[in-house]
Amino acid sequence: MKTLNCRGKLVDLDVPKVMGIINITHDSFYDGGKSFSTNQLLRQAEKMLSAGATFLDVGGYSSRPGADDISVEEETDRILRAIEAILKEFPDSKISVDTFRSAVAEAAIHQGASIINDISGGSLDPNMFDTAAKLNVPYILMHMRGTPKTMATLSEYENVTVAVLKDLSEKIAKARAAGMNDIIVDPGFGFAKNAAQSFELLQNLELLKNLDTPLLVGVSRKSMIYKTLNTTPQEALNGTTALHMIALSKGAHILRVHDVREAVECVKLTEKLRASSEH
């Protein structure tokens, strides 16, 4: 049984959970600028929570390929305002802070967030592992190379699955040595990986069970879907749903998504299928 301790509340991952994406950025690839005003932010949070999201992932720094850099102060300000507004309106929310900067993560946890979601898996801030261990909150460790600005040029692998497994297992060992308890891994679809590599990773997803941590999958509306289907992020919901069913069948514990209701439906159908096979 896999559980996460979110500020003293245990979240059971035996039934997969859904994490709704809230980007407080102008330039995210799908929903940039959508939740910038407090009203829009709260409407989006309410919609996601009522649709069945267990977590809300709040990010103030766009990680799309080639995204612009912003200061720690600006990122912190965006995130803290969002967390404060959400927790005032929905005090039981479990908020994940999407940042690779330890100072932003620490400020967000003190503001009431429960999870750190680090796209760099500790590689862009040497203080991140110690900070997450000290704060004693679940930590999402993602595989990426380089930075959001450079990652598209760093997708040379002899074998992408082997490389990701090796990198994640080494980082898990470092994170445990730093004193971290709850670690979730994310293979980082689309981060320093082209579409073919992302599909290869999805095909081999079961192998990540060897890491013995909960597994988060973030494929929602990504280019591996819309470029394959020759469409746009706006039209990639059906493709996203198809890959969510595959990810769940291969052992995903958390789906990080733009469209919560549809992802929750995927979980319900997968659970029904699982229950029928147990009879």
Domain ranges of the chain: 15-278
Q: What is the rounded average pLDDT for all residues in the chain?
A: 93
Span 15-278: which CATH code?
3.20.20.20
The CA–CA distances, whole Å, from 53 to 19, 100, 204, 208, 223 equal: 6, 23, 26, 24, 23
Measure the CA–CA gap between 59 and 21, rounded to whole angstroms.
8
pLDDT for res 36: 64
Query: Does residue 222 carry a catalytic annotation?
Result: yes
The active-site residue, picked from 17, 256, 272, 274, is 256
Q: Is the pLDDT of residue 175 over 70?
A: yes
Helix H or strand E encompassing 4: strand 3-6
8 A C-beta contact, residue 83 and residue 112: yes
Quick one: average pLDDT of 108-127? 97
Instruction: Quote the longest CA-to-CA distance of the chain.
Output: 55
Residue 62: which pLDDT band, with cuts at 50, 70 and 90? confident
Residue 67: which pLDDT band, with cuts at 50, 70 and 90? low
Residue 29: which pLDDT band, with cuts at 50, 70 and 90? very low
8 A C-beta contact, residue 157 and residue 163: yes
Query: Does residue 256 carry a catalytic annotation?
Result: yes
Residue 261: which pLDDT band, with cuts at 50, 70 and 90? very high
Quick one: average pLDDT of 260-264? 98
What 3-state DSSP class applies to 59? strand
Of the given ranges (31-45, 65-79, 94-108), which has the lowest mean pLDDT?
Answer: 31-45
In the sheet with 216-217, reading across from the earlier edge strand, the strands are 183-186, 139-142, 115-118, 94-98, 55-59, 17-23, 254-257, 216-217
Residue 30: which pLDDT band, with cuts at 50, 70 and 90? very low
Of the given ranges (154-158, 176-180, 184-188, 258-262), which has the lowest mean pLDDT?
Answer: 154-158
pLDDT for res 26: 65
The active-site residue, picked from 17, 222, 227, 261, is 222
